[in-house]
Amino acid sequence: MKKKKTEGRYEIRLSGSGGQGLVLAGVMLAEAVGVYEGKNVTQTQSYGPEARGGTSRSDLVISDSEIYYPKPSSLDLLLSLTQDACNRYYPHLKDDGILIVDSDIVRQIPPVSNVYAFPFTHTAKEKIGTTLVANVMSAASIVIISGICKTDSFLKAVLSRAPRGTESKNETACKIGFEMSRKALKKAKG
């Protein structure tokens, strides 16, 4: 993991609105890290009682040692797929924390030093024909930008969790997510 270690913890939050599939995306990331790479991980969530809408978040704590407190306290990485979630959670980022947003939805980018903006939802609709896979695409982006696990581990986790019949769409979403993030990372490093 390329990061400054705080007690060996790496903390990630996926945030947006209920129905965007962020809890599932968080579970896929957790599985990639835990099941396929043997690291300690906890995944917790917070959402409202409604099935759609309301702020929703999925939190991951990844560590080489045993994890006691299972919730993040200061984020190494925040993904926000709505402006509301972004506004609410960016103050929890560490000074050198990374913010990833959906560039079509989060128009007002907060003053954070490490920001990546990608048109996840738009790309999913245009290239795969459904916005449903924007969650997987954005989680794929987290994999590249944070380096928490190998792309292969994430792909395995996605395919084992994706509903039957949606495997190829999810795989494509993954690959697009990896690709767009690699490009952005290269550009950022000049």
Partner 1 sequence: MTDVSVPKLIQGNQACSYGAIAAGCRFFAGYPITPSTEIAETMALELPKYGGKFIQMEDEIASISAIIGASIAGSKAMTATSGPGFSLMQENLGYAYMAEVPCVVINVMRGGPSTGLPTKVSQADVMQANWGAHGDYYPIVLSPSSVSECFDITVRAFNLSERYRCPVIILSDEVIGHMREMVSLPDFSSVEMIERQRPNVPPEWYKHFLITHDFTSPMASFGEGYRFHLTGLTHDEFGLPTSDNIEIAKKLGKLKLKIERHLSDISQVNTYKIEDAHIVILAYGSVARAARQAVLLSRKKRFKAGLFQPITLWPFPDRQLRQISRKADLIVVAELNQGQIINEVRRVCKSHSKVVGLNRYDGELITPEQILEKIKEEHR
Residue 163 neighbours by CB under 8 Å, 6+ apart: none
> Least Å distance between CB 33 and partner 1?
9
Q: Among residues 21 and 34, whose Cβ is nearest to partner 1? A: 34
Beta strands at 75-80 and 40-46: parallel, antiparallel or unpaired: unpaired
- Cα four-point dihedral sign 124, 125, 128, 134: positive
> Least Å distance between CB 183 and partner 1?
31
* 45: number of Cβ within 10 Å: 13
Cα(30)–Cα(118) distance, rounded to whole angstroms? 22
Q: Among residues 63 and 121, whose Cβ is nearest to partner 1? A: 63
Q: Among residues 31 and 102, whose Cβ is nearest to partner 1? A: 31
> Least Å distance between CB 41 and partner 1?
6
Q: Among residues 35 and 109, whose Cβ is nearest to partner 1? A: 35
Beta strands at 93-102 and 40-46: parallel, antiparallel or unpaired: unpaired
The residues binding partner 1 (CB under 8 A) are 27, 30-31, 34-35, 38, 40-49, 67-71, 73
Cα(153)–Cα(149) distance, rounded to whole angstroms? 7
> Least Å distance between CB 28 and partner 1?
10
Q: Among residues 116 and 154, whose Cβ is nearest to partner 1? A: 154
- Of the candidates 164, 136, 166, the residue with the CA atom closest to the CA atom of residue 151: 136
> Least Å distance between CB 49 and partner 1?
5
* Residue 118 CB burial class (10 angstroms; 0-12, 13-18, ≥19): buried
Q: Among residues 44 and 114, whose Cβ is nearest to partner 1? A: 44
> Least Å distance between CB 44 and partner 1?
5
